[in-house]
């Protein structure tokens, strides 16, 4: 499981995927999110700009990312 420590109040989903190394670019993040391949807290998420706060859990291709405050 990867973790990202928040520097602000939240991080956007596309930025989090990139920061965790799950995708290589913002364009790739946009594509995998729009294709319904990313879950946030167990629900498929289609918004690249979805705000992730402390405690959020992101799943992508069997990888898990936890957001910590």
61: DSSP letter? T
Calpha distance 28→13 (Å, rounded) = 12
30-42 pLDDT per residue, tens: 999 999 999 999 9
Look at residue 64 in the predicted model and tell me its pLDDT.
Answer: 98
The two three-digit tokens of residue 59, written as one number? 């799943």
2-30 pLDDT per residue, tens: 999 999 999 999 999 999 999 999 999 99
- Going by C-alpha positions, the residue among 3, 64, 5, 4 that lies closest to residue 38 is 64
Cβ atoms 13, 49 nearer than 8 A: yes
Look at residue 7 in the predicted model and tell me its pLDDT.
Answer: 95
Would you call 64 helix, strand, or coil by DSSP? strand
Q: Which CATH architecture has domain 2-68?
A: Roll (3.10)
């Amino acid at each position: 499981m990867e973790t990202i420590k928040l520097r602000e109040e939240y991080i956007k989903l596309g930025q989090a995927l990139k920061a965790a190394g799950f995708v290589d670019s913002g364009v790739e993040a946009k594509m995998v999110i729009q294709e319904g391949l990313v879950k946030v807290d167990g629900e498929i998420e289609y918004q690249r700009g979805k705000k992730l706060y402390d405690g959020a859990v992101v799943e992508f291709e069997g990888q898990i990312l936890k957001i910590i405050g």
